[in-house]
Amino acid sequence: MKARACIRLITYPDELVNGEAIYVSSNSLPIKASHFEPAGHSFHDVALKLRGYFEEENVADDNEKLPKDKEHEYMQSSDSYSSKGKKKSGDGANQQDHYALLGLGHLRYLATEEQIRKSYRETALKHHPDKQAALLLGEETEAAKQAKKDEIENHFKAIQEAYEVLIDPVRRRIYDSTDEFDDEIPTDCSPQDFFKVFGPAFMRNGRWSVIQPIPSLGDDNTSLKDVDAFYDFWYGFKSWREFPHADEFDLEQAESRDHKRWMERQNAKLSEKARKEEHARIRSLVDNAYKRDPRVLRRKETLKAEKQKKKEAKFMAKKQQEEEAARVAEENRRKKEEEDKQAAEAASQQKKVKEKEKKLLRKERTRLRTLSTAVVSERLLNLSKDDVESICMALDTLQLRNLCDNMEGKEGHNQAELLKEALSLDHSEKDHVVKISQQNGTVKPNGNVPKPKSTPEKKEKPWGKEEIELLRKGIVKYPKGTSRRWEVISEYIGTGRSVEEILKATKTVLLQKPDSSKAFDSFLEKRKPAVSISSPLTTREEVEGVPLTSMPTEPNGVSSSPAQTEGVSSKPSQDAEKVEPAASSSSDQDVWSAVQETALVQALKTFPKETNQRWERVAAAVPGKTVNQCKKQFTLLKEKFRNKKK
């Protein structure tokens, strides 16, 4: 046996084994330390054990002797189960190879149910104790024969146990999960050895897959679609592998139902932890393969190159667009500069021409003034200096030159005639221009241009109350975002309002606050007509000789009292008119019908306490009642309401 670094070397004295070193190893797991401390009744039990008053061997006997009084009965806490739970007998090195016993060691987890049954029949027939009875004859002593017999029976029992385990799907799955398996995960490899390294690893771990058969890793020529399907399968890998733990509790050895549930929870924790570790192991295998798969790397490089190519193409297109825009802008700038330059040159040339013309005009005017000096000084043909200036201002350069040329070869009277002729020509041209302007109606006789007649502005039709209400409803019914909203609202109003009028009304009419002074008038307009009340008030007979039906009514429909119809008289006469019939009718006026009470309640809601002249408006809203009667009825209603609450 070769020594390993992980095995502790133990030496013995020379007299034991001739001084040779002995290597001792064990595959049993260390005892797991408990992290639970006793509490409650368990703490009490532990204290009794430490004191020596309570022995563990006599627990069963003591439990039989315990009194049945309720004050001594208790239930052990779950913390005490950690020290009392009986774990499964460790399999370790004592676990037998079921496949080898049945002669299926070469197939193992690949063996089918039919192969297991066939192999069991052959092995059981071969190793049955009755078939092995001849081996007992070769033994000399009875002890040897008994030992041989026990060995044969134990071997046959092992074969039966192997068959029972392998033929049961659940037990076989647990056994296969604990069978020898290489959990090693490849971490690194060269690109050319990728399929040689990771292919067997995937095939080896594929035995745990719920879905069979598993997809193959393929080779370098496998399509990308199959590659994606392969990695999708392994990233969603579902394993049937069980994870029996050496520290699991045997549920059959539970002392009670609570103890059994506690064992199940502990076993579930261990299994869940193992499943997470297995999932992390498979995930690391798939991640390592995906990072080093040459097919995936080539696709990533291709996608990266395409992305870079698109990015460069986009950049070049943007650059070309910017260059084109810059070129167009430069051409426009140059073109504009050339146009500005040409315009400046033309303006300069025109300015020079004008300056030259002005200079020539001034020269000819000076020449005319010089030639006409003698005529003006002698007052020939009543020509004055102003006439000469008028001629200078009216004639252009060519006309002035011709006039001066004609005047140079002549004397004073002839020069005066030429000037007079030019002056009369100037006046005739002005009259002709004025006449034409008057005929066209563009110039008045005084030479002023007439102002165009102002077109009469179209008066807007005022908005009525119904139109305003329809406009409010239309704005709510057709909110923002409605197609052709204002045209639809115009059709909804139905009075032929244009879109411009509606838009203007939304900024003016709808923003106007209602006049508080007209609130009572609007209430009276909106109020429904009062229902006729059949009461003693309507059937009263004459008061002071005046029938009720003949009493004049006011514009608001409220009948005036007899005192109002007779006018204002002297105070003594008014006191005399207070007769007994009026007193007897006061009791009748205190009678309120259901309609009157409803009108009173509605009026009180309409006109709150802050309203000016509240009770006058309330009395006007209640048919056939005065202010004092309304106040009195309001007090009675309030007292009645309070009494009901009590």
Of 414, 355, 418, 411, nearest in space to 388 by CA: 418
More confident residue, 522 or 287: 287
CB 445 within 8 A of CB 438: yes
Phi, psi of 29 (to 5 degrees): -85, 150
Alpha-carbon distance of 41 to 73, in angstroms, equals 11
Residue 56's CB is within 10 A of a number of other CB atoms, namely 9
Binned at pLDDT 50, 70 and 90, residue 78 comes out as: very low
CB 498 within 8 A of CB 463: no
Q: Got the DSSP string for 546-559?
A: B-GGGS-B-TTSPB
Which helix (H) or strand (E) segment holds residue 9: the answer is strand 9-10
* pLDDT for the residue numbered 516: 57
The DSSP call for residue 253 is G
Binned at pLDDT 50, 70 and 90, residue 68 comes out as: very low
CB 100 within 8 A of CB 159: no
Per residue in 166-219, pLDDT (tens digit) is 898 888 888 888 777 778 888 888 888 898 889 888 988 888 888 888 898 888
CA 255, chain centre distance (Å): 57
Q: Got the DSSP string for 435-500?
A: HHHHHHTSS-TTSPPPPPPPPPPPPPPPPPHHHHHHHHHHHHHS-TT-TTHHHHHHHHH-S---HH
Per residue in 352-399, pLDDT (tens digit) is 988 988 888 888 888 888 888 888 888 877 888 888 888 888 888 888
Q: Where in the chain is the domain with CATH 1.10.287?
A: 98-178
Alpha-carbon distance of 626 to 628, in angstroms, equals 6
Residue 437 neighbours by CB under 8 Å, 6+ apart: 443
CA count, 13 A, side-chain hemisphere, 142: 0
Whether the pLDDT of residue 328 is over 90: the answer is: yes
* pLDDT for the residue numbered 443: 45
* pLDDT for the residue numbered 525: 63
Whether the pLDDT of residue 318 is over 90: the answer is: yes
Binned at pLDDT 50, 70 and 90, residue 322 comes out as: very high
Secondary structure, 3-state, 327-396: HHHHHHHHHHHHHHHHHHHHHHHHHHHHHHHHHHHHHHHHHHHHHCHHHHHHCHHHCCHHHHHHHHHHCC
Alpha-carbon distance of 322 to 318, in angstroms, equals 6
Highest mean pLDDT among 328-332, 448-452, 573-577, 597-601: 328-332
Q: What Rg do the C-alpha atoms of the chain give, in angstroms? A: 63
The structure's pTM equals: 0.38
Alpha-carbon distance of 570 to 530, in angstroms, equals 36
Per residue in 39-54, pLDDT (tens digit) is 877 777 877 877 766 5
**If phi over 0 gives left and psi between -120 and 50 gives alpha, with beta otherwise, what is residue 383?**
beta
More confident residue, 5 or 260: 260
The CATH number of domain 98-178, selected from 1.10.3470, 3.20.20, 4.10.860, 1.10.287: 1.10.287
Residue 562 neighbours by CB under 8 Å, 6+ apart: 543, 544, 546, 551, 577
Q: Got the DSSP string for 191-219?
A: GGGHHHHHHHHHHHHGGGBSSSSPPP---
Binned at pLDDT 50, 70 and 90, residue 523 comes out as: low
More confident residue, 303 or 461: 303
Per residue in 468-513, pLDDT (tens digit) is 888 888 888 888 888 888 888 888 888 888 888 888 888 787 766 6
Residue 475 neighbours by CB under 8 Å, 6+ apart: 489, 506, 510
Whether the pLDDT of residue 22 is over 70: the answer is: no
